[in-house]
A and B are shown apart, each in its own frame.
Chain A
Amino acid sequence: MSRQDFQRRMPEAARAFSRPTRLAERFHIDFFLLLLLLALTTIGLTVLYSASGHNLPSVEKQGSFFMIAYATMFVVAQIPVDFMRRMAPFAYVGGVFLLLAVTIFGDISMGAQRWLQLGSFRFQPSEIMKLAMPITIAAYLSSGHLPPRFTRVIAVLVLIGIPTALIIEQPDLGTSILVATSGLMVLFFSGLLWRYIAAAVVIFGASLWPIWHYMLHDYQRQRVLTMLDPTQDPLGTGWNIIQSKTAIGSGGLSGKGWMEGTQSRLDFLPEGHTDFIIAVMSEEFGLFGVILLLTIYSLVIIRGLTIAVKSQNTFGRLLAASVSSTFFVYVFVNMGMVSGMLPVVGVPLPLISQGGTAIVALFAGFGILMAISTEQKRVMTPQS
């Protein structure tokens, strides 16, 4: 079949061929998504400079993390989606293995055992699981008919449960929620029957009591109680929330101005540069800043879901939808907890909060999105 014939038979494809192949497409880059990410990281560095107390080295360090993260994203974007699918079982088993290793050999830092030391490199295996989980579940579910049968649903729940339990044990409630969510999202997008969802909600509701009493650590229970009434212990556990709400509220409509946030500048905000950075931003840029940030986040998610919908294979769209929705969960949980709507579970604000491996993991996720978005073009590129 000649190229002319192909074009005649598939006019849509013809359009793709007729325009010149752009650099972005050749390197599997989603230009719109990249633009949004650049905007977010710029905002992130700007806010961090103020939140860290004008600490340039700390901003530079974060900048270099972003470099590594962007590089990772570009590398991941080049990986064929099908290869990801085939590698899923290995990633999953490897991830679980590393989590076990952490439980046995890991470094204890700030009361939790999360870190694994490899030479001079220290990283959190739970971050690998944030990506290995949705890939694995998407690969598993896309291999069969959808919506999945009951037995396959149970299998998926077991696959989600094992690493989640290991991460809760560390203990790291925030990450375990994100890992479990990324798997459950795949299940939801695979068309899980509504009656299963309804049943799960009922069972979850009923199990709250035993979870409260037997599974949560004291500090986690305390966090929930503090969330319900922060004024109970204003100098202890309630301090963070009271101060972050004060920071947010005192920002008003347009904020106090960049580097003028007194709550953070005067150290009233604990963790102002990490988990509570949205409080600094709210204080300095006001409701306008919050809405701007939420708008960019929403565009990222919309772009991710669009990529998912456009994807032509089941694995790709399940994975893309899960990665995008998990990103939303990040944003919602973080902004909810800092504003006192949700318990403080230790979820950073994506791309804004200071952090190393967490950012690299996020960008690897965006790399996956880009790989999926350009997969179509890869498939349609004539092989010979």
Chain B
Amino acid sequence: MQENQHFKDHQREAKLFRNRVLVMAAFMLALVCTLIYRYYDLQIVNYEEYATQSERNRVHVQPIPPTRGLIFDRNNELLADNKPSFTLSVISIDATELTTTIELLKTLIEITPSDLGKFYKAQKQRRHKLDPVPLRYRLTEDEIARLAVNQHLLDGVEVNAELVRNYPHADMFAHVIGYTGRISEKDMDSFTPEQLQRYSGTHAIGKSGIENSYEDILLGEVGSQNVETNARGRVMRVLDRIDPKQGSDLHLHLDTHLQETAVAAMQGRRGAVVAIDVKTGGVLAAVSNPGYDPNLFVTGISYNDYKNLNDDIDTPLFNRFLQAQYPPGSTIKPVIGLAGLHTGFTDVDRAISDPGFFTLPGSSRIYRDWSLAKTGGGHGRVNLKVGISQSCDTYFWDLGTRMGIDKMSEFGAHFGLGQLTGIDVPSERKGIWPSREWKRAAKGQAWYPGDTVNMSIGQGFVLATPLQLAVMASTIANRGVRYKPQFVQRIGDKIHEPIIEETLEIKPAYWDAIFDGMAEVVHGQRGTARAYMSPGAEYRMAGKSGTAQVVAIAQNAKYNSAMLQERHRDHALFIAFAPLEDPKIAVAVMVENAEGGSSKAAPVARWMMDAYLLGYSLKADEFVPPLGFHHAAIIKRLNNYIATRNAAREGKTLDEPVKTPEPAAQPVGINAEEGVTDDE
């Protein structure tokens, strides 16, 4: 019975168990169906959405920066090119790892505290945790090798190549070419969406000079590539690629030899030289001395370097030919004389008797001619030719006063005075060519006759930049045709056409008279510049000297009095053009605190014209550097140049061919991604 009972129980249990298994199986079936439905929903119903999402995960569009256009001078000499620069970046995830990495890097390569400071600042601002942050720019070959050897120890350290701007002539063209710099946050904020896209792969933007004004042309068009990246953003392979379009090359009117000659002729003095191609308005040379090395700015200038440049009493960052405004002094006398001829207030032969001073009718104030202090008397009988050649102030005081402010003001404007020249680099200043309206607006005062007296010899309110003086000289040389001064001659293969701003119609005889007067300055018996300009001249030229009075510079404790005294001397000015019969080049020279326009500034003009017209800079067999001139590179180049020229003249070649600069080969584009295999 007991046995039986147990057996019955056993059957009941078995039945109960089978029921439970059925219930569980049904339950499981339901859950399996749920799972299948879930996967069906993800894989079939929402397939498109997830497939798109997966593709978006996988494929990223990466911008490929275009290669920036090159800048050449008129003889295909490279003024700005691109060279690969190696940058070390660190991807850091946690702080202790970063510290050990940096300690290790310090033993391998040079890392300055300033590098570290910038690194930590950039690190705080990075947008994504895994963004590489640059730590050192411009790694040397040695450093790259040392990094490569220790690569296995340097997790999260990468070395990337990018093309950065290089200025082979360093400071010689700094004020013309300008420089590129890193795109700043401020630049980014001002970008339009289109610009943001154009610059998506580019780190540099033109900050000044040609680099800035022709930014759009130099930049080129950004390319792109679709790359497969992993979850950490590392590129696994390149899928397809649209090549970037290289920026157009610029060919400038500038002539490197002429620029070098100008720097050499300045003998290291502060000042500016501008030479203009009379027939086109093309700028042949533009020097602002001292210059600075624009290469310093390319990958970000260090605080100390910038401070040194900025605090230098010689203000190397100041663009003297574009922004320095001085009273043009006697250099404007040809324009005043021409105004007198054109308006009929004088003629070619009309002469005055110069007692050495001038007084306004009904005024006791005496205006002293410079000859009064020198010779104790005046210039005697003075006509236009003598007035110009001997720079007789009295003649022009008299002429200006009779002509009046309004006629002078109107006429001067034809030569670009008081206006922006429209040159193709930014930040030029327009000087002042006063008028009654100007004075009322600027000073709130009426125009006094004394103002006219000052204005007729380029003093008083009159201000002009060396560039404006060069334009004025060029316009005279061109007999009234005023071109817009331009640096760029050719964009890619396209000629950048000369632009005539204005053509002034004046009787040819009047131009002849002015030419005559200005030639007399250089070649005449009593010409102010004769001693400095004419000896050995192989062609005839025209010129006019001037002296710009220095407005007292700020009394600053850090300048000692000896320096101050030197810096209170007048600036020497000279404008010139040549050859007289068919002018090709016009030059304006300004030498700061050099006093004598004819003695200090005129020789520079002569060098320039010789170099341009005769095709060489000096007649000697060897370039003898002037006292205090230490620009070794230029001396060497000029000597090379002279040697080549002499050899060519004598019709024989040198035993050892002298190296002449060749147009550099186009640098091959280097992309940071070039290590990635492209297996598509």
Closest to A247 in B: B54
B49 and A249 contact, CB distance less than 8 A: yes
Task: Give complex CA distance A188, B27 in Å.
Answer: 13
Contact B16 A246 (CB under 8 A): no
A332-B230 contact in complex given A191-B20, A249-B42, A250-B53, C-beta closer than 8 Å? no
Q: How far is the CA of A305 from the CA of B24 in the complex (A)?
A: 10
B122 within 8 A of A: no
- A residues less than 8 Å from B36 (CB atoms): 290-291, 294
Q: Whole-angstrom distance from the CB of B100 to the nearest CB of chain A? A: 23
A312-340 contacts to B (CB < 8 Å): 314, 317-318, 321, 325, 328, 332, 335-336, 339
The answer to the question of B40 belonging to the interface, with a C-beta cut-off of 8 Å to chain A, is: yes
Contacts of B20 in A (CB 8 A): 188-189, 191, 321
Which chain A residues border B14 with CB–CB below 8 Å?
Answer: 317
Residues of chain B contacted by A191 (CB below 8 angstroms): 13, 16-17, 20
Minimal beta-carbon separation of A316 from chain B (angstroms): 11
| Option from A243, A263, A282, A301 in Cβ contact (under 8 Å) with B39 | A282
Kindly state the separation between the CA atoms of A290 and B228 in the bound complex, as whole angstroms.
27
Distance to closest chain B CB from A246 (angstroms): 5
Interface of A (DSSP majority class): helix
Judge whether A305 and B25 touch: CB under 8 Å: yes
Chain B, Cβ-Cβ closest to A308: B21
Q: Which residues of A contact B46 (CB under 8 A)?
A: 249
With a CB–CB cut-off of 8 A, which chain B residues contact A262?
54, 57-58, 228
Taking a contact as CB atoms closer than 8 A, the residue among A298, A318, A325 that contacts B32 in the complex is A298
Minimum CB–CB distance from A86 to chain B (whole Å) comes to 20
Do A325 and B50 have beta carbons less than 8 Å apart? no
B526 at the interface (CB under 8 A from A): no
Q: What are the residues of chain B within 8 A of A268 when measuring CB–CB?
A: 57, 230-231
- Choose one: B17, B57, B236; the contact of A321 (CB below 8 Å): B17
Is A251 close to B, CB under 8 A? Answer: yes
Q: Which of A333-358 contact B (CB under 8 A)?
A: 335-336, 339, 341
Residue A157 at the chain B interface, CB threshold 8 Å: no
Are B35 and A266 in touch, CB under 8 angstroms? no
Beta-carbon contact of A336 and B54 below 8 Å: no
Determine if A266 and B21 form an interchain contact, defined as CB atoms under 8 angstroms apart: no
| Residues on A with beta carbons closer than 8 Å to the beta carbon of B17 | 189-191, 308-309, 314, 317-318, 321
A266-B50 in contact (CB<8A): no
Asked if B51 and A146 make an inter-chain contact with CB atoms under 8 angstroms apart, the answer reads: no
Known: A246-B57, A266-B230, A267-B232. A189 touches B21 (CB 8 A): yes
| Chain B residues, CB < 8 A from A33 | none
Distance between B634 CB and nearest chain A CB, rounded to angstroms:
57
Would you call A166 an interface residue if the criterion is a C-beta within 8 Å of the partner chain's C-beta atoms? Answer: no
> Do residues A248 and B57 form an inter-chain contact, with CB atoms below 8 A?
no
Residue-by-residue, is A288-306 near B (CB-CB < 8 Å gives 1, otherwise 0)? 0011001000100110010
How many chain A residues have a CB neighbour from B under 8 Å? Answer: 46
B77 → chain A closest CB, angstroms: 49
Is B229 positioned at the interface, with any CB of A under 8 Å from its CB? yes
Q: A146-B13, A266-B236, A268-B57 are in contact. Are A321 and B44 (CB under 8 A)?
A: no
Closest approach, in angstroms, between the C-beta of B239 and any C-beta of chain A?
12
Q: Which residues of the partner chain B approach A249 to less than 8 Å between Cβ atoms? A: 42-43, 46-47, 49-51, 53-54
Contact B35 A188 (CB under 8 A): no
Give chain B interface residues in 1-37, CB to chain A under 8 Å: 9-10, 13-14, 16-18, 20-21, 24-25, 28, 31-32, 34-36
B21 to chain A: which residues have CB within 8 Å?
189, 305, 308-309, 321
Confirm or deny: B38 has a beta carbon within 8 angstroms of a beta carbon on chain A: yes
Q: At the interface, yes or no: A153 with Cβ under 8 Å from chain B?
A: no
Rounded to whole angstroms, the CA-CA distance of A185 and B10 in the bound complex is 20
Q: Looking across the interface, which residue of chain B has its beta carbon closest to that of A314?
A: B13
Is A147 part of the binding interface, using a Cβ–Cβ cutoff of 8 Å? yes
Q: Which chain A residue has the least Cβ–Cβ distance from B57? A: A268
| Chain A positions within 8 Å of B55 at CB level | 250
On whether A336 and B50 interact (CB within 8 A), knowing A191-B17, A262-B57, A325-B28, the answer reads: no
Partner of A253, one of B31, B32, B44, B236: B44
A248/B50 contact (C-beta < 8 A), A266-B58, A286-B43 known:
yes
* Alpha-carbon separation in the docked complex, A55 to B36 (Å): 30
Of B10, B16, B51, which one neighbours A252 at CB under 8 angstroms? B51
Does A223 belong to the interface (CB within 8 Å)?
no
Q: Name the CB-closest residue of A to B49.
A: A249
Bound complex: CA of A248 vs CA of B28, how far in Å? Answer: 22
Which of A250, A267, A291 is within 8 Å of B51, CB to CB? A250
- Bound CA span A162–B31, Å: 29
Shortest distance in angstroms between A340's beta carbon and chain B's nearest beta carbon?
8
Residues of B close to A19: CB separation below 8 A: none
CB proximity of A19 to chain B, nearest CB, Å: 26
Chain B nearest CB from A87 CB (Å) reads 23
Measured between C-beta atoms, what is the minimum distance from B488 to chain A in Å?
A: 48
List residues of chain B with CB within 8 A of the CB of A290. Answer: 36, 39, 43
Q: B35 and A332: CB pair below 8 A?
A: yes
A228 to B: closest C-beta gap in Å: 16
CB contacts (< 8 Å) of A305 on chain B: these are 21, 24-25
Minimum Cβ distance to chain A for residue B241 (Å): 19
| Closest chain A residue to B40, Cβ basis | A287
Kindly state the separation between the CA atoms of A249 and B14 in the bound complex, as whole angstroms: 44
| Most B Cβ at <10 Å: residue of A188, A250, A282 | A250
Interface residues of chain B, those whose CB is within 8 Å of chain A, are 9-10, 13-14, 16-18, 20-21, 24-25, 28, 31-32, 34-36, 38-40, 42-44, 46-47, 49-51, 53-55, 57-58, 228-232, 236
11 A-B pairs with CB atoms under 8 Å apart are A147-B16, A249-B50, A250-B51, A251-B43, A267-B230, A290-B43, A298-B32, A314-B13, A325-B24, A325-B28, A328-B31
Which 10 A-B pairs rank lowest in CB-CB distance, beginning with the nearest? A249-B50, A250-B54, A266-B230, A191-B16, A267-B231, A249-B42, A250-B51, A262-B58, A287-B43, A250-B50
Given contacts A287-B40, A305-B24, A332-B32, 10 further A-B contacts (CB under 8 A): A246-B57, A249-B46, A249-B49, A250-B50, A251-B43, A253-B47, A267-B232, A325-B28, A332-B28, A339-B38
